[in-house]
A and B are shown apart, each in its own frame.
Chain A
Amino acid sequence: MVFSSPTFLFGFLPAVLLAHTVLRGAPRNWLLLLASLSFYAWGEGRYIALMLASIVVNHALGLWIQRSRSALALGLAVALNLGALGFYKYSGWLWDNALALCEALGGATAWLGPRPEVVLPLGISFFTFQALSTLVDVRRGDARLSANPLEFGLYIACFPQLIAGPIVRYSDIAQQLVRRSVGVADFADGLRRFAIGLGKKTLLANSLAPLVDEAFALDPAQLTCAAGWLAISAWCLQIYFDFSGYSDMAIGLGRCLGFSYAENFEHPLASRSITEFWRRWHISLSTFFRDYVYIPLGGNRRGKARMYAALVCVFALTGLWHGAAWTFVVFGLYHGAVMLLERAGVGRALSAGPRWLAHVYFFVAVNVGWVFFRADDLPHAGAFLQTLFRVLPSGAELHPARVFLDTERCLALVLGVLCALPWVRWARERGEPSPAVALACDVGVVALIGASLLCAAAGAYDPFIYFRF
């Protein structure tokens, strides 16, 4: 069930919010856990047992670790969680690579057996990382796990952040799992945040998606250079508003339910370097890799060579976390390589130069990375990059940028650029908003709710040319 679907908006959400508001005490948590498991089962019924197993096993291991500080228990937990993630997310990809390797080396392939056709369980990357972070924190003494499996189950499965994050730390919400209160102001703020997220998703990301899909479905050689840049810029905005929209909705819903989730995006597209970008983009993932991979690998403390190696390792894993394909690995490694260059001196040069130049550099650098993220495979990415950096027309171009643009897409691009800038932060730096400004903002939120609901409803619109039975 996605947050912008009619089933969620006009069924699940009002029912859960109403029931959660009415109930008090432990029944609230039971309600929320049941609702979250139903939410998960609705999207991925066949894997509800996996989700329950993840809760039960990780809770038991967590209590064991808490009691004994056992390295064996932690090792077992890491192996089980990463094993499940590896099997469900990467087994097909690993099989493909093994086959390709065997064929390249001229070896036998029969031992590989049939390709594992495993359906990726919804949200497995998120709930696995949440469980792992908790168990590591418990062993480090940074978190104290409740003996109540209900609370741990709710932490793992809580529906607002279940399928698209943010990755929540147990210690951040441990108290809220036991006791939380939701006042009118909290609830209204949560709804405001949810409306902003829903608007980002339905009005901006969904409006840009057709442009991107159309351009990326074409042979890149047939796109003009301008069309290539238009498509990748639109993709940059689409993925930002899609992902940050989901995070906003999760944070907003969390607030309505009494949870305070940390921010996951801080206007990353207004960055001036890739290093700055990763401090603002999917913060909960960056923090996870920093705390549980980069620092344990030595971080900044063991010399430059070790630091660079750790950085490359973190970014390779970051890429792979996003998807089981070489394009994602290259996406991660590319970002790692750019960060190395920035640490090696490019960053200092950018800081010394004019701000606009740094923004131009960032625009090019981040969009080159997005090509790997969005392309079907590496040859497709290579061909798309050639289009982006084609100096002279090849004569094979059939699709100029203007073909992809209508009023709605132009509006979405302009609004997208405007909304990617940190206006609210700039305004707050000038002081609290006046009542008139606050009122205008709320009028805007109400309009956003209306427009978003219209667009969400339009997701169910599917006319045919002839009658379709």
Chain B
Amino acid sequence: MSTGTPRPARARDFAILAAFALGLGAPLVDLALRSSDARGPARELRSAAKLPSTPQSLEEAVAFPRQFDNWYEDHFGLRDVLLRTHNRAKWLGLGVSPTPKLVLGHSGWVFSSEGFALDDHRGAAPLSPGALEAWRTMLEQRRDWLAQRGVHYVFAIAPYKSQVYNDELEPRFARLGPARNQQLAEFMAGNSSVRIVDLESAVRAARADDKGDDLTYFPYGTHWTDRGAYAGYVELVSALAERFPELTPLPREAFEVRDGPTQGDSWAGRVYLEGLLEQRNLEWRVRTPSARYSGNFREDPQFVSDRADRAGPRALVYHDSFTLPMRPWLAEHFSHLVCDWTHTPIVQRIEAEKPDVLIQIYNGYTLMQLTPHALREEDGGRRAARFDASTQTLWRMEQGREETSLSVNEGAQLARPDGVLELTRESPASLLFLPRLNYPPGANLLVACELEGDEPGKLQVLYCTRRLPRIDRRQYVETQRLGGRERLVLEVPAADFVERMAIWLGPRKGRTRIHALEVRAVAPPH
């Protein structure tokens, strides 16, 4: 067939074969020659999938291909080279981000687009009247519950990068209206005695001091620099001073400013463009600190500090990554300070620490993720009472019968050793999936769980929405488990809900017995 092919055509055929052989074969050669650590996803801030062991059962054999695919996708030959080339072509050639979690602005600055942050920035995802009311209720319940214990409550919101550097964004992201944090702050000012401490104006004002590479936010990261954090810190401490007049923010002269050992918050490594994207990281350190603490304040989930002179009130801070740089600065004002990098306050911690003030401080984008959900203690059992009063059971686990409608992911196992359903969690991402639900439009869903666990921890109900159609950790309601046998009721706002829910019991491995699990529909409280 090929004998009649003209010579130039035959040469081209061989060239095509060679190109394919090179394209498909080179990764195999690299797989054999180079260490997989060099190719793996450590730069992407995640662990590489493990090579599955030889299947010992039919179930394992069925799961093997997917596990192998996951492993191979993290280890195939030339992975790092191909990704670097791909990302460089997109970044430099097309001027777009190689990951959907970012968009590029002018001058290659990056902005977070994860979780629809830019819709929030544009004012295109406003909180509904019901959601605003839910926030007001939760904040007032929390304020009142804490006040009964003699604890002052402060809720503060930090601006995210595009709210301060919106002129660096492409014009297509022009604003239509206020972002959720601005909307909530305005609503609370007009409708509640709880005041939200909005740090945006202070941080925007700090931008006026930008000089060269000394900026308020990192150009290749999504967080504020220490100077930006300082502006937020001053505003926060000034707000606290209304209740604790002895608190005054440290002046700029109290800080030593020097280049940090790393480039700070940067996506350069995560997009495989280290060396190409360089930025300066000026770290602010208190010159003569009075507070003592241990560990890495910029990374550890928990931070505890004490002043030697025991001067100042006691404080408990729940926060996100934005507050990490200001932990040692806040430590200077409190006799005892505990900072927890988590969203939901923990009742036992409040009871144990007996703080004078509880501060929740998050960046505004958190309002795109966080569904307001009062703790059981804060709502005085009203949610459980609404559950009990509802007659619209959508699904109920039948105890004592083979449960086929529940399922788990890879890191979890379901068993019924003595008639009671038992969930074994072998990975931080272990999930229990509830069956698909048909629910009445406009209703909220109440999920009641009667659990018996070994230790305190979290309970999250993760749910799908049309915009987030897969179960992941970006859409959830959360409460705390005390340990022992307990009944917990969580409320999922049905306005966004689509069919699927899952239960997450925290990152620790362990076993939890599930005595009851039921979903009922109720009218929204507002």
State the A residues within 8 Å of B (CB). Answer: 1, 5-7, 9-11, 13-14, 41-43, 45-46, 114-115, 117, 181, 183-189, 191-192, 195, 210, 217-218, 222, 376, 398-399, 402-403, 405-408, 411, 435, 438-439, 442, 445-446, 449-450, 453-455, 457-469
State the B residues within 8 Å of A (CB). Answer: 1-2, 5, 8-10, 12-17, 19-21, 23-25, 27-28, 31, 41, 43-47, 61-62, 64-65, 68-69, 72-74, 76-79, 82-83, 85-87, 89-90, 94-96, 98-101, 103, 112, 114, 119, 122, 124-125, 170, 172-173, 176, 222, 267, 270-271, 321, 404-405, 428, 435-436, 466-467, 469, 507
List of B residues within 8 angstroms of A402 by Cβ: 172
**Contact present for B17 and A457 (CB under 8 Å):** no
**Contact present for A468 and B47 (CB under 8 Å):** yes
* Complex alpha-carbon distance, A76 and B83, angstroms: 53
* Closest A residue by C-beta to B469: A217
User: Known pairs A10-B28, A411-B94. 8 more at Cβ < 8 A?
Assistant: A10-B24, A42-B65, A408-B94, A454-B85, A457-B86, A459-B73, A460-B73, A468-B45
* Complex alpha-carbon distance, A117 and B271, angstroms: 40
Asked if A463 meets B172 with Cβ closer than 8 Å, knowing A186-B2, A454-B89, the reply is no
Q: For A181, A222, A449, A457, which residue has the most chain B Cβ atoms within 10 angstroms? A: A457
**Contact present for B12 and A14 (CB under 8 Å):** no
Partner pick for B82 among A183, A408, A457, CB 8 A cutoff? A457
Asked if A41 meets B41 with Cβ closer than 8 Å, knowing A14-B24, A465-B114, the reply is no
List of A residues within 8 angstroms of B27 by Cβ: 6, 10
Partner pick for A408 among B8, B96, B270, CB 8 A cutoff? B96
List of B residues within 8 angstroms of A398 by Cβ: 119, 122, 124-125, 176
Q: For A13, A114, A181, A449, which residue has the most chain B Cβ atoms within 10 angstroms? A: A449
Asked if A222 meets B124 with Cβ closer than 8 Å, knowing A7-B69, A408-B90, the reply is yes
Within the complex, the shortest CB–CB distance from A353 to chain B, in Å, comes to: 37
List of A residues within 8 angstroms of B101 by Cβ: 463, 465
Show 26 A/B contacts (Cβ-Cβ < 8 Å), sorted by A: A9-B24, A14-B21, A45-B61, A117-B404, A183-B2, A188-B12, A188-B13, A188-B14, A217-B467, A217-B469, A218-B466, A398-B124, A406-B94, A439-B8, A442-B15, A455-B86, A460-B76, A460-B83, A461-B44, A462-B46, A463-B101, A464-B44, A464-B46, A467-B45, A468-B45, A469-B47
**Contact present for B44 and A191 (CB under 8 Å):** no
* Complex alpha-carbon distance, A187 and B68, angstroms: 29
Within the complex, the shortest CB–CB distance from B390 to chain A, in Å, comes to: 19
Q: For A11, A458, A460, which residue has the most chain B Cβ atoms within 10 angstroms? A: A460
Asked if A192 meets B16 with Cβ closer than 8 Å, knowing A46-B62, A186-B2, A411-B94, the reply is yes
List of B residues within 8 angstroms of A459 by Cβ: 73
Partner pick for A13 among B24, B78, B172, B428, CB 8 A cutoff? B24
**Contact present for A6 and B1 (CB under 8 Å):** no
List of B residues within 8 angstroms of A406 by Cβ: 94-96, 103, 170, 172
* Complex alpha-carbon distance, A464 and B469, angstroms: 19
List of B residues within 8 angstroms of A462 by Cβ: 41, 44, 46
**Contact present for A461 and B65 (CB under 8 Å):** no
List of A residues within 8 angstroms of B95 by Cβ: 406-407
Asked if A41 meets B65 with Cβ closer than 8 Å, knowing A191-B20, A403-B122, A403-B172, the reply is yes
* Complex alpha-carbon distance, A14 and B24, angstroms: 7
Asked if A460 meets B74 with Cβ closer than 8 Å, knowing A46-B62, A449-B20, the reply is yes
Partner pick for A10 among B47, B68, B74, B76, CB 8 A cutoff? B76
**Contact present for B28 and A14 (CB under 8 Å):** yes
Question: What 3 A-B pairs come out closest when comparing CB atoms?
Answer: A188-B13, A183-B2, A457-B82
List of B residues within 8 angstroms of A460 by Cβ: 73-74, 76, 79, 83
**Contact present for A453 and B82 (CB under 8 Å):** yes
Within the complex, the shortest CB–CB distance from B161 to chain A, in Å, comes to: 13
List of B residues within 8 angstroms of A191 by Cβ: 16-17, 20
List of A residues within 8 angstroms of B467 by Cβ: 217-218
List of A residues within 8 angstroms of B87 by Cβ: 458, 461
Partner pick for A463 among B25, B173, B270, CB 8 A cutoff? B270
* Complex alpha-carbon distance, A273 and B469, angstroms: 35
* Complex alpha-carbon distance, A468 and B507, angstroms: 11
Q: For B172, B173, B405, B469, which residue has the most chain A Cβ atoms within 10 angstroms? A: B172
* Complex alpha-carbon distance, A439 and B270, angstroms: 39
* Closest B residue by C-beta to A457: B82
**Contact present for B86 and A11 (CB under 8 Å):** no
**Contact present for A407 and B96 (CB under 8 Å):** yes
Asked if A458 meets B176 with Cβ closer than 8 Å, knowing A10-B76, A185-B10, the reply is no
* Complex alpha-carbon distance, A117 and B499, angstroms: 14
* Closest B residue by C-beta to A6: B76
Asked if A10 meets B173 with Cβ closer than 8 Å, knowing A45-B65, A222-B124, the reply is no
List of A residues within 8 angstroms of B86 by Cβ: 454-455, 457-458, 461
* Complex alpha-carbon distance, A273 and B520, angstroms: 50
List of B residues within 8 angstroms of A445 by Cβ: 16, 19
**Contact present for B222 and A7 (CB under 8 Å):** no
Partner pick for B12 among A42, A45, A411, A438, CB 8 A cutoff? A438
**Contact present for B62 and A45 (CB under 8 Å):** yes
List of A residues within 8 angstroms of B12 by Cβ: 188, 438-439, 442
**Contact present for B17 and A187 (CB under 8 Å):** yes
**Contact present for A446 and B15 (CB under 8 Å):** yes
* Complex alpha-carbon distance, A445 and B271, angstroms: 27
* Complex alpha-carbon distance, A286 and B285, angstroms: 72
Asked if A188 meets B96 with Cβ closer than 8 Å, knowing A13-B24, A406-B103, the reply is no
Asked if A185 meets B1 with Cβ closer than 8 Å, knowing A7-B69, A449-B20, A465-B114, the reply is yes
List of A residues within 8 angstroms of B14 by Cβ: 184, 188
List of B residues within 8 angstroms of A468 by Cβ: 45-47
List of A residues within 8 angstroms of B405 by Cβ: 114, 117
**Contact present for A461 and B99 (CB under 8 Å):** yes
Within the complex, the shortest CB–CB distance from B17 to chain A, in Å, comes to: 6
List of A residues within 8 angstroms of B1 by Cβ: 181, 183, 185-186
* Complex alpha-carbon distance, A460 and B41, angstroms: 9
Asked if A7 meets B72 with Cβ closer than 8 Å, knowing A403-B173, A442-B16, the reply is yes
Within the complex, the shortest CB–CB distance from B155 to chain A, in Å, comes to: 23
Within the complex, the shortest CB–CB distance from A216 to chain B, in Å, comes to: 9
**Contact present for B65 and A435 (CB under 8 Å):** no
* Complex alpha-carbon distance, A88 and B5, angstroms: 48
**Contact present for B271 and A463 (CB under 8 Å):** yes
List of B residues within 8 angstroms of A188 by Cβ: 12-14, 16-17
List of B residues within 8 angstroms of A450 by Cβ: 23
**Contact present for B74 and A446 (CB under 8 Å):** no
* Closest B residue by C-beta to A14: B24
* Complex alpha-carbon distance, A411 and B82, angstroms: 21
Within the complex, the shortest CB–CB distance from A285 to chain B, in Å, comes to: 28
* Complex alpha-carbon distance, A466 and B94, angstroms: 27
List of A residues within 8 angstroms of B119 by Cβ: 398-399
**Contact present for A458 and B83 (CB under 8 Å):** yes
* Closest B residue by C-beta to A452: B23
Q: For A6, A195, A210, which residue has the most chain B Cβ atoms within 10 angstroms? A: A6
List of B residues within 8 angstroms of A222 by Cβ: 124
* Closest B residue by C-beta to A399: B124
List of A residues within 8 angstroms of B65 by Cβ: 1, 41-43, 45
**Contact present for B62 and A446 (CB under 8 Å):** no
Within the complex, the shortest CB–CB distance from B504 to chain A, in Å, comes to: 14
Within the complex, the shortest CB–CB distance from B505 to chain A, in Å, comes to: 16
**Contact present for A185 and B9 (CB under 8 Å):** yes
List of A residues within 8 angstroms of B74 by Cβ: 460
* Complex alpha-carbon distance, A5 and B98, angstroms: 18
